[in-house]
A and B are shown apart, each in its own frame.
Chain A
Amino acid sequence: MPELVATSPGLFPLPDWAKDRLSDQKGHQKHDLISGDEGKEIVETYEEARSEAIDRQRDAGLDLIGEGQLRWDDMLAHPLAVHDNVETRGIVRYYDNNNFYRDPVVTGDLTFDGDVAAELEAAVELRSTSRQHSSSSETAAAAETDSLQAVLPGPYSLADLATDEHYGDEAEFLDAVADFLVGEAEAFPDVETLFLLEPSLVENAPGDGVDERASEAIDAVADAVDAEVVAHTYWGALDEKVYAHLLDADVDAVGFDFVADQADNLYNINEYGATDDVALGLVNGQNTLMEDADAIRERVEWVDEQTPGADFGKAYLTANAGLFYLPYSEFEQKLQALADAASAQEVKA
């Protein structure tokens, strides 16, 4: 059995009180969404919600703690949606979900922005304050062992979600998005892991040539941080060629969505090999049906058995997709189940 590490792909739901308060503070039109220059009151609401997100993860006992991406109104398109040289236009469908985001139209150079780094700095601050002020020995102990995780859209998915009116060439645009993400990642504070979310590699699979370029783009972003990097894919399995190219990228783990597809994911691992570590999307981030810790562990064992050729050092246990699809209490229960599944091993050991 690999070492189990409890984490999540981020993109948390807002607590209900924050949904209510932001509804009053922000309004309901598309220009009311997060733009990167929100006012003091709104900043404070998100700050409070971020603090709660960190506490929830810590209470649950996750090994890797994210800042929650609560400001990401446009989901994975967020880093572009707040950029000065990007115009947000019509509301468009988010993959084949019944969710919508503002079409980010790139109209100028994708220069350094720093929005995601600032969120992580805020999380670093909150984590250290929480550690100093923690009265509960349990929370304080947890604070000593858990580590910070960053989340970014993978370059291929971010380019796929955006519209280019500046670079003019698909390949050039993908490189520009990758360069942009490199700059953003270089500005991060120290993080233990970086999850690069790449659902578009599944949903809108790159064809010949583009698959290789997508892998090189991921490689570039991965090299920008001194952290473990997970390229997490979901909503199905990768085409085998896309997977084979992805293995060329210098990432520590590839993430697989075992909720959406088991057979093709296993096939890819067994046929093409795998990274040293792996991320297992075993908890359904889009259904209120609860998985318990035992069931999650059984699935880990099952994957381990079914991939005799692979010898994973670490397995990141995670939800398949971002957790904003869930009501708040179900989101909390899913985090708990993931943490319990990983910690059962620690107790046994």
Chain B
Amino acid sequence: MLIDINTWIGAWPFRHLEEATVSGLLKRMDRKGIDRAIVAHTGAALYRDPHPANVDLARQIGKHTDRLLPVATLLPQNPGWQEDLRRCHQDLGFVGLRLYPQYHEYRLTDEPALDLIDAAHDCGFVIQVPQRVEDRRTRHPWDVARDLSGGEIIEALRARPKVKWMLLNALGLAAEDLPKEANFLVDISRMTAVLQRNMQRLLDVAGNDKLAFGTGMVFKVADPALLKLEVLDRGKRVREAIAWRNAAKMLGLKVR
């Protein structure tokens, strides 16, 4: 069983993404043996009003809710996010939010952002935060979004330790600095099981319940994340926890 907590569909204005559709994502998952995935719409990261992208994502997923778990993007500074959140929760089948403070010019600990996070948490949502979308060395000159700093992420975890955080595309978070009381998962897409061994560092310091499988598809290829699981020098229980159990637990999924 594999649950990928870090996937996208949709066009990205700065780089061509091949078959960045629900069917394209499902094909990739089939090829790599990935059972389920949390998915967001790239348009939601850049639209002034992201909600139409949320609606489009739900429409594209259609009957594939057995495999794809959609996350929405809302802007804390936009009017009416409360109603959009209600629709995402009650009408559209979303399981969480993916927030991009670096593209929408706020900080996670700003009061309006915390209001949105609290309201989403009350809906039972997970809160996903990508530290970055693309590597800054490859960015289009108009893509000036910053990488979120470890300090900003940790500050948010401290401010809302009960929120179900999923930190995506993250690297450089010092395991010792992550608040022990916080409820978080870090996806493995930028971490390593060999050489630097920062997966092992996080397991040893923060616990076996803090890592989750994530690929970064359709921006990135899935094979590196699969290799990390394969070569990780930990027992079956730990590898299973990373592969799916930790994500399933946070999402409240019943998995056989």
Q: Do A and B bind each other?
A: no
Interface residues of B (CB under 8 A from A): none
